[in-house]
């Protein structure tokens, strides 16, 4: 159990948000927190070594949060990455419920209230998620969803999240803190240059079912200059793939995944990604090795085999 932190404030929702150079968009997110219809919230904002006016923008909200009766904490740390910033905030979580929206996104007015209400009415669940919508921050116009919605009837989401069959959109999920910190008793998620949502969600989803509210209660800001949408060089992209593989291996260990079938499925996940990036950059040897790994892990599909055959055929004769 979460030694020393077993007691959580009943009904309180803790919000942990990492931010790096987000001063321009942070105001809108903080406004959306202040406008929540739910009355019991603590905001834990972690600045990841910003060099713009992020901290000054955050400080201007201290009085407004106090007047609203919401807890408000600003934590400043050296720049590293989002998962490291999350770790700076987790020790301060005291709420019964936990969410971690991005600093440039927004929560609809009843986003917190409706999720808490669901969990109170359905105590058999330890988490819940909502749908989201995507918008342009300057024009306000709708944008195409960047993730698959998946089968909304499903509640066992570990594999669907890992295999990109459903969304990991961070601000959509609400977890019960007690169960989250029974997984991370040291209040520390694995730190990688990638992720934070995989770290937060996958071990939890491995243990708990997560139903979906059929309402778009979270708005995702789609801006070209954001870190997650920045165009990567080949070397950066290949390193990102490797970081994700190492992260998933660590998560598998946290979950206690040791059975052959599950490990084979993770092997397939890796091999499909390796196949995709090797095709993108014309690395034929790596492509063939990825196909071999898929074959060994029983993940070779007829469609993929035909696609690979025609790629090699085209390369051979051209």
Residue-range domains of the chain with CATH: 9-228 (3.90.550.10), 258-317 (no CATH)
For 23, other C-beta atoms within 10 Å of its C-beta total 18
For 234, other C-beta atoms within 10 Å of its C-beta total 11
Sign of the four-CA dihedral 29, 35, 36, 41? positive
Q: Is the predicted pLDDT of residue 245 greater than 90, yes or no?
A: yes
Helix (H) or strand (E) holding 199: helix 197-207
Reported pTM: 0.90
pLDDT above 70: percentage of residues in the chain = 89
Mean pLDDT of 117-122: 98
**Cα–Cα distance list, 199 to 78, 109, 143 (Å):** 21, 27, 27
Burial (CB count within 10 angstroms: exposed 0-12, middle 13-18, buried 19+), residue 124: exposed
Q: How far apart are CA 176 and CA 45, in angstroms?
A: 19
Residues 275-288 have pLDDT tens digits of 888 888 888 788 77
Mean pLDDT of 30-57: 98
| Per-residue pLDDT, 4 | 45
| Per-residue pLDDT, 263 | 93
Q: How far apart are CA 180 and CA 199, in angstroms?
A: 11
Q: Is the predicted pLDDT of residue 314 greater than 70, yes or no?
A: no
Q: How far apart are CA 268 and CA 125, in angstroms?
A: 30
Return the minimum-mean-pLDDT range out of 8-22, 50-64, 268-282, 303-317: 303-317
The angle formed by the CA atoms of residues 246, 209 and 82, to the nearest 5 degrees, is 40
């Amino acid at each position: 159990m979460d030694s020393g932190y077993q007691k959580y404030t009943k009904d309180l929702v803790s919000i942990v948000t990492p931010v790096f150079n987000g001063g321009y968009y942070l105001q809108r997110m903080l406004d959306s927190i202040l406008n929540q219809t739910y009355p019991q919230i603590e905001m834990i904002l972690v600045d990841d070594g910003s060099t713009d006016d992020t901290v000054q923008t955050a400080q201007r909200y201290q009085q407004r949060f106090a007047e609203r009766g919401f807890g408000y904490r600003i934590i400043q740390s050296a720049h590293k990455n989002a998962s490291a910033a999350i770790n700076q905030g987790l020790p301060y979580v005291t709420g019964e419920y936990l969410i971690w929206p991005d600093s440039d996104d927004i929560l609809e007015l009843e986003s917190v209230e409706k999720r808490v209400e669901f969990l109170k009415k359905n105590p058999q669940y330890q988490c819940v998620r909502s749908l989201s919508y995507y918008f342009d921050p300057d024009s306000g116009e709708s944008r195409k969803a960047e993730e698959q919605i998946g089968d909304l009837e499903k509640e066992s989401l570990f594999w669907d999240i890992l295999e990109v069959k459903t969304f990991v959109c961070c601000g959509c999920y609400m977890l019960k803190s007690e169960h989250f910190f029974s997984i991370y008793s040291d209040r520390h998620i694995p730190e990688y240059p990638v992720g934070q949502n995989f770290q937060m969600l996958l071990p939890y989803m491995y243990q708990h079912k997560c139903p979906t509210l059929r309402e778009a209660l979270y708005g995702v800001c789609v801006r070209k200059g954001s870190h997650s949408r920045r165009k990567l060089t080949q070397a950066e992209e290949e390193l990102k793939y490797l970081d994700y593989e190492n992260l998933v291996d660590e998560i598998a260990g946290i979950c206690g995944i040791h059975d052959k079938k599950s490990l084979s499925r993770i092997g397939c996940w890796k091999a499909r990604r390796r196949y995709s990036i090797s095709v993108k950059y014309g690395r034929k040897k790596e492509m063939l090795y990825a196909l071999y790994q898929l074959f060994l892990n029983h993940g070779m599909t007829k469609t993929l085999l035909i696609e690979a055959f025609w790629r090699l055929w085209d390369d051979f004769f051209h």
